A and B are shown apart, each in its own frame.
Chain A
Amino acid sequence: MISITHFLIVSACIFSLGIYAILAKRNAIMILVGIELIINAAILNFVAFGRYDKIHYGGQVFALFAMVLAAAAVAVGLAIILNVYRHYRTINPDQITDLKD
């Protein structure tokens, strides 16, 4: 029997994977993938918790909106990264450091 704990453990694992992908920062695209992983972990949580919210279905509605917004943010992010690649010929954040103290 799969209980809510299983969902929460899976989502916590996905969240940690996302954080790792962001902190490793080899590549801007990988950071975007990490962001997607975190958002999906949150969506999984929302849907799992939403099962207990029979009146408002707040979790499921939230999951739908979160997916739409994540897609929008990633679309803008990819466009910006493409623009950066045109100027720098790299998308490794460690090598893009013109602006600093």
Chain B
Amino acid sequence: MNEFTYYITEFLNHIIGSIPLFGAELLLIATFIVSILGSLFLAKRFPQATFNITCIGLILTLFILLQQYAANTVGGGFFDLLLIDRLSIISRLLMGFSALVIALFMRQYALKTKNARNVSDAYSILLTATLGLFLLVSSTHWLMLYIAIETVSISSYILVAYFAAKKQQSEAAMKYILFGSVCAAIMLYGLSLIYGFTGNLNFASQEQLTGLTSTPNVVMGVAFFLLFTGIGFKLSFVPFHAWTPDVYEGAPTAITAFLATLPKVAVVVLLARILQSWTASPFFYSDILIYGVTAVAIASMLLGNMAALRQQQVKRMMAYSSIGQIGILLMAALVYQGDNAHILLYYLTIYTLMNLAVFIFIDRLEHQLGSTTIADYRGLGKKQPLLFSCFTFVLISLIGLPPTAGFMSKLLVFSSVFDSFQSTGSTCYLLLLIIGASTAAISLFFYFKIPTTAFLKDYKQDSTVQNPNDSQVDTLYILAIIFSFSLLILGLFPSLLLNILK
């Protein structure tokens, strides 16, 4: 024990020195505790107390992150458990902002469904999920990453199950937690193998890279397969996508919007970091990893877009289309080299804006019609011109047609993939480009089902579907319309955002 006494002062100084880097997360933890206390003691007198605490906490967190952004903070802390760089600061800003929108979304959902139960705890869970996501993008240490992934997963299970009142919702929650826990457990086994082979838990460290080089290839292949099972579940790429349609359909729309955006952003950033440090070093699996990611991306794009073609439920269609979108996200992660983070971040920002806007529109229509079937949208385009014009515009952006921001973001990703193809001459980049472009054409057919049904078919009064009224205007709806317009503006002037991200 005595040999440690010399180091204790040094350790303590290091820990105290790391605390400023951890400011945003500490504030989230404090907000979480305050919000739990708020829901315990204030919920009876002020029903919105927890929501307000959550919003204030998230806004203050964004403020701290903006300070880090302005100061251009870079550095590691807590014995390399924490890594703060440009990528982590900007992706955390994006996720903090989206969490704020999701909090508004959840409030709207709770108000509209007139849920008699006290929903204030759901906001606290949203805060823990955000905390996990923040840690996920700011670490290269497997211990931290596993804790972060599990924090996000457990919070997501609770969020899906929290509002479950109907049969299908509880089924979705059960499928989600069983599938998710299995994948997380398998990933843990893979991590234990990697730890055993390399003796180090930091995937960016030199020791782990040399350890990976000297391990037998077959064993390493098993370990990688197990590891990517866990990552694959969170990103829902093929063949770990089976839960996505069921959970997206069964979960409340506010939670579906959460699942479709925030965890994807965080895990793509993580995957980009892993691929960057592993493919750069010359060990047996560095090439095979690229082939594997390419194969998975191609399979996801084909299967997601094909399966989306025959969906009648709009949420199920969005689930399959998000599997297709993952292919492009994997392409963006594959070409991440450290200095071109702005391409990845631009794509992630636009992806988040599009998906949030689409789910806000779906939710609004769901509350008006009481249904999420595409056929029930018929003739509504003339009744609600503003909603459906914006909806159509966001869908055009999801396909990736000009002049939208979706087009610009895809163009940036595709052109950097093409650059990699020219510099390496590897056919897998070319295959990615071909499949990416052709599946975008396929996606035209199912995304355009919504505007054609809404604008070209006649409105019919149906007894099963309620009469829609467009009188209510709420914050969330205005926000979705602002998102649609910003997609247009960012599509015409992408440098507005790219300069911030550089």
Contacts and interface: CB of A to CB of B under 8 A. Distances in A.
Contacts of A38: 182, 185-186, 188-189
B491 interface: no
Count chain A CB atoms within 10 A of each CB in B170, B189, B246 and give the residue with the most: B189
B219 to A, nearest CB: 10
Contacts of B316: 101
Nearest to A63: B192
A23 B75 CA distance: 44
Interface of B: 142-143, 146-147, 150, 153-154, 157-158, 161, 164, 167-168, 170-175, 177-178, 181-182, 184-186, 188-189, 191-193, 195-196, 199-201, 245-246, 249-250, 307, 316
Interface of A: 8, 11, 15, 18, 22, 28, 31-32, 34-35, 38-39, 41-43, 45-46, 48-49, 52-53, 56, 58-59, 61-62, 65-66, 69-70, 72-74, 76-77, 79-81, 83-84, 86-88, 93, 96, 98-101
A21 to B, nearest CB: 10
B445 to A, nearest CB: 18
A61 to B, nearest CB: 7
A80 B168 contact: no
17 contacts: A22-B182, A38-B182, A45-B192, A58-B195, A58-B201, A59-B192, A59-B195, A73-B150, A77-B181, A80-B170, A80-B173, A83-B161, A93-B178, A98-B167, A99-B171, A99-B172, A101-B316
A39 B195 contact: no
A49 to B, nearest CB: 4
A99 B146 contact: no
Contacts of B184: 73
Contacts of B191: 42, 62
B174 A80 contact: yes
B185 A76 contact: no
B112 to A, nearest CB: 22
Contacts of A73: 150, 153-154, 157, 177, 181, 184
B327 to A, nearest CB: 20
Contact of B178 (A46, A59, A77): A77
B174 A84 contact: yes
Contacts of B193: 45
Contacts of B200: 58
A81 B174 contact: yes
Contact of B199 (A52, A70, A72, A81): A52
Contacts of B249: 99
B145 to A, nearest CB: 11
A41 B168 contact: no
A76 B180 CA distance: 12
Nearest to B142: A62
Contact of A80 (B177, B192, B201): B177
Given A73-B154, A76-B154, A46 B161 contact: no
Nearest to A23: B182
B201 A62 contact: yes
Given A77-B177, A77-B178, A99 B143 contact: no
Contacts of B143: 58, 61-62, 65
B192 A49 contact: yes
A52 B153 CA distance: 31
B126 to A, nearest CB: 15
A74 to B, nearest CB: 8
Given A58-B143, A77-B178, A66 B188 contact: yes
3 shortest interchain CB distances as A-B pairs: A45-B192, A49-B196, A38-B185
Contact of B192 (A35, A42, A69, A70): A42
Nearest to A100: B246
